[in-house]
């Protein structure tokens, strides 16, 4: 594989969280790269996300954590599970003390745009190419070839597919992948803090769980808003899109009969978005020739462990580290990256999938056993806390 004197020519397709994280970590290791994004401006649709210690450590290492926390909200309480009908607290974690002591960093909640802006601050403007819609990704032997709507063709030394759940790069690497309907749809909305009840303005990540449904809320945007994400049985109109919308009445209907305090919070929300959660099996390989995948293009996962963005950030850090260790053999570096990342992300895909059943149990013996386990189990393991050390998958501890 040919490289320039300055190193391999790296193209990143997709300027979302994963693409910008990869660009920033590669730059930190001395690699120039070009990010191609089809949108005319880098704006992040969606609403809130949780940045756990494994991702926050990497943001600090990248030098952008201080910028991020200007608008992020440090969580004091996390995984606060409440019963659907009356708000009884089943279990909660003290994140204020536990995270820093156990994992070296805090947990934050933020609007997606604030994370995107922090990552962008570490990427030179001349590396960003906006309004560049890729219409095909093909291989000429082991060489990935990008063709854009404006007629330009790009043949990079390394191609990184960070182009999301409908990734063209993934299709070129592994062929068409079939998504299955999960039977679950998600609603997302923001509530101005001035309209939100006091319990929702706390620095807490709260999950209300009940039959076939659950709802998560936490403050974002420096406390100006409360982010809501609700999960319910999917209807025929649900699609896999960040831009589809529902009506507030539809969201309220899903939580009819739940604790009146939660209903009051929902009633104060803006127009909710709604999208279907599609289920995809973990891939058995990510690489082909000089191309690889990261983030949702490689391992789309249900949001029930709040690790989608964190795993994309880890991908970018590990990929940059592998290329820095073996810059003259990009193919070997990509192989090492896949070896390090695929098992960890597959595990998280699987446990995130299983969480939907646990959260949505109907009232009855199984639900009662779950609630009793929440109240009695050791604090950090009661909620399936995923940041425990596992030497086989804890790659983030070393990047």
Residues annotated as catalytic are 218
Q: What one-character-per-residue DSSP string does 64-102 give?
A: -HHHHHTT-EE-SEEEEEEETTT--EEEEEEHHHHHHHH
Q: Compute the distance between CA of residue 191 and CA of residue 266 in angstroms, rounded to an integer.
A: 8
> Is residue 31 within 8 Å of residue 307, measured between CB atoms?
no
Q: Residue 294 phi/psi, 5° resolution? A: -150, 165
Supply the DSSP symbol for 153: E
> Is residue 307 within 8 Å of residue 348, measured between CB atoms?
yes
Where do runs of H (alpha helix) occur along the chain?
17-28, 53-62, 65-69, 95-103, 112-120, 168-174, 198-201, 248-254, 260-267, 308-325, 330-359, 365-376
Q: In sequence order, what are the residues at sequence separation of 6 or more whose Cβ sits closer than 8 angstroms to the Cβ of residue 158? A: 8, 9, 10, 11, 290, 291, 292, 323, 330, 334
Q: Compute the distance between CA of residue 265 and CA of residue 267 in angstroms, rounded to an integer.
A: 5
Tokens of 204: 């807490």
Longest dimension (CA), the chain: 66
3-class DSSP state of 255: coil
3-class DSSP state of 174: helix
Strands 158-161 and 10-13: parallel
> What are the distances in angstroms from CA 329 to CA 1, 18, 29?
8, 23, 16
> Is residue 167 within 8 Å of residue 300, measured between CB atoms?
no
Please report, in angstroms and rounded to a whole number, the separation of the first and last CA atoms in the chain. Answer: 26
> Is residue 368 within 8 Å of residue 88, measured between CB atoms?
no
């Amino acid at each position: 594989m040919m490289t320039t004197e300055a190193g391999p020519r790296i193209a990143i397709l997709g300027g979302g969280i994963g693409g910008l994280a990869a660009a920033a970590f590669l730059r930190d290791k001395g690699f120039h790269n070009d990010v191609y994004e089809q949108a005319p401006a880098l704006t992040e649709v969606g609403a809130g996300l949780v940045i756990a210690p494994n991702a926050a450590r990497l943001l600090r290492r990248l030098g952008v954590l201080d910028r991020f926390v200007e608008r992020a909200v440090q969580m004091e309480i996390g995984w606060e599970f409440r019963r659907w009908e009356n708000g009884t607290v089943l279990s909660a974690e003290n994140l204020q003390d536990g995270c820093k002591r156990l994992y070296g960093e805090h947990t934050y909640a933020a609007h997606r745009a604030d994370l995107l802006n922090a990552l962008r601050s570490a990427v030179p403007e001349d590396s960003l190419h906006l309004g560049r819609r890729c219409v095909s990704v093909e291989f000429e032997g082991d060489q990935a070839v990008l063709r854009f709507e404006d007629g330009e063709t790009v043949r990079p030394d390394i191609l990184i597919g960070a182009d999301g759940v409908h990734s063209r790069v993934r299709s070129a690497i592994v062929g068409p992948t079939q998504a299955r309907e999960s039977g679950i749809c998600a609603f997302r909305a923001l509530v101005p803090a001035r309209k939100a009840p006091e319990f929702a303005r706390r620095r807490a990540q709260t999950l209300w769980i009940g039959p076939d449904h659950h709802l998560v809320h936490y403050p974002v945007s420096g406390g100006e808003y409360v982010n809501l994400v609700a999960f319910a049985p999917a209807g025929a109109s649900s699609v896999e899109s960040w831009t589809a919308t529902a009506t507030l009445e539809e969201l309220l209907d899903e939580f009819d009969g739940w604790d009146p305090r939660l209903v009051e919070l929902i009633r104060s929300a803006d127009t909710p978005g709604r999208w279907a959660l599609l289920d995809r099996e973990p891939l058995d390989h990510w690489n082909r020739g000089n191309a690889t995948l990261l983030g949702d293009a490689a391992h789309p996962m249900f949001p029930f462990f709040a690790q989608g963005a964190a795993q994309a950030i880890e991908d970018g850090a590990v990929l940059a580290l592998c290329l820095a260790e073996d810059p003259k053999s990009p193919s070997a570096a990509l192989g090492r990256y896949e070896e390090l990342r695929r098992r960890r992300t597959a595990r998280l895909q699987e446990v995130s999938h299983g969480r939907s059943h646990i959260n949505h149990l109907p009232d009855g013996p199984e639900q009662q056993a779950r609630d009793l386990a929440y109240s009695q189990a050791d604090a950090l393991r009661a909620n399936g806390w995923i940041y425990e050390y596992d030497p086989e998958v804890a790659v983030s501890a070393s990047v």
